[in-house]
């Protein structure tokens, strides 16, 4: 997605060979127009899949997921990373290891918001080591529902998450794929379209 790649080039900050900061439009400040375009792109990519629900994870997944939900005409459920007072239902949970923070955490969705008839599109802001996405897939499968695709805003293709998701046999679409952050520079993967 060219508009997104240009935004990353213009406003992204390479903090290390593994960390890209996009706090000006996705992870702290949000650009609503760009998120609408991101949602339209996800909708266009997955509109033939019969999506009934979008599942994402707080907090940075919410804006792109809600815009995709608006365009696909389906509700969005966001997994919580911490306990919430009114989240008292029967919870579906998954354990997610963060390589950056080196901590294990639990993510949760109320069982009542997923049914075995659901055909779920998983959306997240970043794909690095794939742990969050795999946790979301696990939760959807615990509900007996099907995952028809995974939509990622920014994929760090030099980490192993993409390979792990591909091995699940699920369709993955990333709107910007980063080959490298070496030399303080964002280099996108050169994709060959047949």
Q: Which of 17, 19, 163, 182 binds a copy of itself (CB under 8 A)?
A: 19
Q: 104 CB contacts (<8 Å, ≥6 apart)?
A: 95, 96, 97, 98
> Pairing relation of β-strands 119-127 and 146-156?
parallel
Give the Cα separation of 99 and 122 in Å (integer).
Answer: 21
Q: Which of 6, 9, 17, 29 binds a copy of itself (CB under 8 A)?
A: 29
Quick count: other Cβ atoms within 10 Å of Cβ 30? 16
By C-alpha distance, which of 59, 64, 58, 52 is closest to 147? 52
Q: Which of 9, 17, 50, 58 binds a copy of itself (CB under 8 A)?
A: 58
**Under rule CB under 8 A, which residues in 66-95 are in contact with a copy of itself?**
66-67, 69-70, 73-78, 80, 84-89
Stretch that binds a copy of itself, among 105-113, 127-135, 136-144, 145-153 (CB under 8 A): 105-113
Binding site as annotated, residues for xanthine: 20, 27, 156
Which residue in the block uniquely carries the two structure tokens 């969005």? 76
Q: Applying CB under 8 A, which residues contact a copy of itself?
A: 15, 19, 21, 23-25, 27-33, 35-36, 58-59, 62-63, 65-67, 69-70, 73-78, 80, 84-89, 100-101, 109-110, 113
């Amino acid at each position: 997605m060219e508009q997104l790649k240009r935004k990353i080039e213009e406003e992204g900050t390479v903090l290390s060979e593994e960390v890209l900061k996009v706090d000006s439009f996705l992870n702290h400040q949000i650009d609503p127009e760009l998120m609408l375009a991101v949602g339209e792109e996800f909708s266009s990519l997955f509109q033939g899949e019969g999506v009934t629900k979008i599942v994402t994870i707080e907090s940075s997944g919410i804006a792109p997921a809600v815009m995709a939900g608006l365009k696909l005409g389906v509700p969005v459920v966001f997994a919580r990373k911490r306990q919430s007072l009114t989240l008292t239902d029967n919870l579906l949970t998954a354990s997610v290891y963060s390589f950056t923070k080196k901590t294990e955490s639990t993510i949760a969705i109320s069982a009542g918001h997923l049914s075995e008839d659901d055909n779920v599109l998983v959306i997240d802001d970043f794909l690095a080591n794939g742990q969050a996405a795999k946790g979301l897939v696990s939760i959807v499968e615990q509900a007996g529902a099907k995952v028809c695709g995974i939509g990622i805003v920014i994929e760090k293709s030099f980490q192993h998450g993409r390979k792990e998701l591909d091995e699940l046999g699920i369709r993955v679409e990333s709107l910007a794929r980063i080959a490298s952050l070496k030399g303080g520079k964002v280099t996108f993967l050169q994709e060959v379209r047949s």
